[in-house]
Every structure is written in structure tokens, then in C-alpha cells.
A and B are shown apart, each in its own frame.
Chain A
Amino acid sequence: MKVLVPVKRVIDYNVKARVKADQTGVDLANVKMSMNPFDEIAVEEAVRLKEGKEHHAAGTAAEIVVVSIGVTQAQETIRTALAMGADRGILIQSDADLEPLAVAKLLKAVVDEEKPDLVLMGKQSIDGDNNAVGQMLAALLDWPQATFASKIEIGGGKATVTREVDGGLQTLSATLPAVVTVDLRLNTPRYASLPNIMKAKKKEIAVKAVADYGVDVAPRLKVVKVTAPATRSAGIKVADAAELVSKLKTAGAL
């Protein structure tokens, strides 16, 4: 089975995003960038499918291809995935911040070329927070989708996926090929070892241009402005529970 894992280079999870003074966006100059944390979980699961870790049979995945769409430095993100255990990478170079619809169309073109049996990807990126690309890719391919996965079992040409839903968990079964998007509890991604980081340097990354795929990536949305949310100011410290209850009663909260 061949697994395709799309990954995105985003602001590091531990960095607080700050809005630019001219309200055109978030300031990413000199900010630490990393692989989107949900994508890391997707890469980890793909590698476990290859290694036969946890409940997966060894060799469930034969080849793992990682694809990223973004600036030249997104090669570093692909390299991280290769160091975790992916086999080769594709960078579709774009300096423009493409919308989810455009990203889904590019990924569909990659799927048409690569013909994976499974696309495994993060449920959302922590910058745009759209939570849309996986579902849109599945729709464009007319494949089944299983989003927000907390457990994945592959066997008999099917993916059986336990999903995080409101109020609990849902399990569904989808015939491959399918798109599965992953949630936090699926696994804990590994840190790449030094030997694996060295090995990853020799793995292939094909660099492509958006134009190579001949898809329409024109924006549909115009960003009017980006502003900082209203900040809350710290309130008061109270001495004990009795004072708290009396304050809450006065405020009408109890």
C-alpha cells in the first residue's frame, strides 16, 4: 500500500501569533516555523503502518510519499518527515498563501499522478484553522473520508477508523482508497534520531511549480483585515472561597 501524507510548514505550536500593525496578517518574520502538529501525527501513523508498530501488520504501508505546498523552506518540513521515516518528498513551490480549495485541487493532481491507496493528513493547520482540505480532497476524488481519527486499522482493502465526534467516538469503515484526517489522540509522534536525520538528507525531494499541475488556484476570498482579538484584563484576587461566592452572587453569576 502506498500512503500519501500532505504536510504544512506553519508557525511553531509554542509561539504566540501576533497581528501586524497594518492589519494585513500575522507577523511571521523571524518566527520559529515547524511542521503542523496534526501533520506530524499523520506522518507518525504512516511510519507505524510501514514498520508494523502497535496494532498494524508490518509492511501495511510499502511506500510513504510526503507532499508540501509552500515556500522553498518547506523543504525543511519535508526533510523532518523523511527523518521520521517517510521515503520521498514532493514540494510544490508557492510563495502565495493558497486557500484550502486550491490546496485540495493541487493535492488531487498529486493523487492522480501518485495513485496512493490512502491519504493520511492532519485534520487542520494551526494557522488558518480551516479544517477543510482533507474533506475537500476526498470530495474532489469522490473518495470516502474519515476525519478526526483517534484509531486507524487497515485490512482487507478497508480502513476502519474510530473518530472523535461530539459526545464521544464513532467508528466507520471505508473501502480504500480513502482520505483519513487525524486528531490529537491517534499517537505521539517520535523525535527523529540523528542517524535518521543524516539518512533523510539523501532521500529525494522533487521540486515542482504550481503551474506544473495546471489547476486553478485563483483566490476566492479577499482578506479585508486581520485584527487582534479584544484582550481580557486581569481581574482581582480574592482571599478565599467565601469571598468568591459572595462576589459571584453580586455579579449575578450564581
Chain B
Amino acid sequence: MAVLVIADHDGSAVRDTTNKTVTAALAIGGDVDVLVVGSGAKAAADSAAKITGVRKVLLAESAGLGHQLAEDVEETVLALAGGYDAILSPATMDGKNFMPRLAAKLDVAPISDIVEVVSADTFVRPIYAGNALETIQSSDAKKVITVRPTGFAAAADGGSAPVETVSGVEAGKASFVGEELVKSDRPELGAAKIIVSGGRALGSSEEFHAVMEPLADKLGAAIGASRAAVDAGYAPNDYQVGQTGKVVAPALYIAIGISGAIQHLAGMKDSKIIVAINKDPDAPIFQVADYGIVGDYKTIVPELMSALG
């Protein structure tokens, strides 16, 4: 039995999500290989080789593969698929983009967003925005699976697997035009240990940034937002935590002026400790919060800043 993990990486190193997907792969069992698809991504392959439990790393490079276009990744992986019983990717936006495409080409039912490996053919995944957990057993000979990173611990570094070169395929179906990536010195939402998240109560984009940024910087935290705050234009979409945004599970999640709609809770209820600051004592967020303060964020956040020293 052999399992292939398609790495999530930034060209110079694999992201934490890759280590977590390796943990899921090891739970399925057999030899675990990691595939790095990219352009000038040798350093990322070298970092994947350090993950404990990895048999070997495959590096597929081509000039156009840096953008991880679905058609290109799918064709590159398809050429290697014959040698594997299961193919896994983290359920990032890229993974969600190319994995179902790969599954269809292999005539396999994709298994999306697993949070637990029960056995080599049985998995648990959230449905209905996390309001239910489905345990499913696959009868396909080959499994194509995306892994929700918050469901698994990261496999530690400590290995030294060999890196082999394989061919990268450019399908030539869609072409990259450009990108606008948000530059920030703060940790990424998906990887942050602490997240401070703001809601519609903040009232404006200026207020959102003025309140959230100093607090985030004091705590070394990432900034999140509710869908309501994003819809109102107070925060950019990539801040969005919830069913339709990112699913996070930090050690500490501080919700400020967030009422706690079902769709938001779906994205953060697996956080280790949840703090809620809201002036409405009946806000649903208090039903999931370990610590709640009823009051106006305008007075509580400055007090919190000074209490943190």
C-alpha cells in the first residue's frame, strides 16, 4: 500500500498543512510519499523530505506550475496515480480546486475535507456546515481525499527522505493572468495560535482596523472576521472565518462584536479556548465561549490592551 500527499507550499518550504496531511496519510497506512508541484520549488521539496515518516519526495517542476492551476496539477498527478492506493491533499483552496478534477479523471468518488481516518477506507467528514459528522466507507480501489488541516496534528520534522525528480505537466487549458496577495507580517489565519476576530458591531472598515490591528500585534495574533463584517466591507474576504470562509482551530480565539451565527461557529468552534466580547448578553457566541465579557468593545478592548501590559 502506498499513499501520495500533494504538498501545500510557498516555493521555499512546505506549509504546516502538508505536515498535517502526512499525519492523515500515515493513519491510512503504507508508504507515504510527498509530491511537490511547482516552479523553482527545490527548497520546498527539501523541507518536505524532513517530515518524519515520509518515504520519498517527488519534485515535479515546470515554468508554469508555480500557479498551481487545476488542469496542470491534475495532469501531473494523474501521470503518477497508478502507483498509489490513496492520494491526499490538504483542503486548501488549491487542493479543493484540483482534487475533484483528479478524482473525475480517475473515475473515483472524491472524499472531501476529512477530519478523521477510521481505517484505510473509512473516514469522518463534516457536512451541513459542521452541524453533522458523516462517517463514510469508500468502495473505490483508489481514494482521492482532501484533509481538513485542523483535524490532524502536524507530523514533526526529523526525517531525511530522498528527493526524486518527476515530470511536471502543463495542460495548457487555462492561463494565469495575475494575482493580488495580501501582504502581512502577522501569522496566517490557518496556522495562527491566537486569532482575534471582529464582527459587524465594529461598524466601519476604519474602526475594524483601528481596533483589531493593535490588539493582534500585542498578542502576535492573526486577524479574522465574521461573514457579516466581510459582507459589510469592514474586512477583506480572506479574513473570513466560517462555513464559507476559513475553518480555524487556534489555541485561543477572541471574538469581538461577533454575534455567533451558525455559519461563523462552523468555522471556529474547534478552537481550544474561545473568548467572546459582546454587549448583547443573549448573543449565541456566549453559548460556545469559555470566557465571556458582556460589554461594549469600545471600553473592553482598551482595558484588555492595558491588562496585557
Which residues of A are interface residues toward B (Cβ below 8 A)? 11, 16-19, 26, 99-101, 104, 126-140, 143-148, 150, 160, 163-175, 178, 183-185, 219-229, 232, 234-242, 244-245, 247-248, 251, 253-254
Contact = CB atoms under 8 A, between A and B. Distances in A.
Contacts of B160: none
Main secondary structure of the interface of A (DSSP, over half): mixed
Q: Across chains A and B, which 7 residue pairs bring their CB atoms closest together, nearest first?
A: A235-B290, A139-B104, A132-B100, A17-B128, A241-B303, A136-B104, A220-B109
Nearest to A159: B174
A240 B135 contact: no
Interface residues of B, number: 86
A127 to B, nearest CB: 6
A127 B128 contact: yes
B140 interface: yes
A225 B135 contact: yes
Contact of B112 (A131, A236, A254): A131
Contacts of B111: 221
Contact of B137 (A144, A224, A241, A245): A224
A241 B307 contact: yes
Nearest to B176: A172
B127 A224 contact: no
Contact of A237 (B71, B127, B133, B292): B292
A169 B179 contact: yes
A100 B128 contact: no
Contacts of A127: 127-128
B304 A144 contact: no
Contacts of A163: 93
A168 B303 contact: no
B232 interface: no
Contacts of B110: 100-101, 130, 132, 136
B38 to A, nearest CB: 15
B180 A168 contact: yes
A224 B122 contact: yes
Interface in B41-98: 67, 69-71, 74, 92-94, 96-98
B209 interface: no
B189 to A, nearest CB: 9
27 contacts: A17-B128, A99-B109, A101-B107, A101-B108, A126-B243, A131-B96, A131-B112, A147-B97, A166-B93, A166-B190, A167-B182, A171-B177, A178-B174, A220-B108, A220-B109, A220-B138, A221-B111, A222-B136, A222-B139, A223-B134, A225-B135, A234-B287, A236-B290, A236-B291, A237-B293, A237-B294, A245-B304
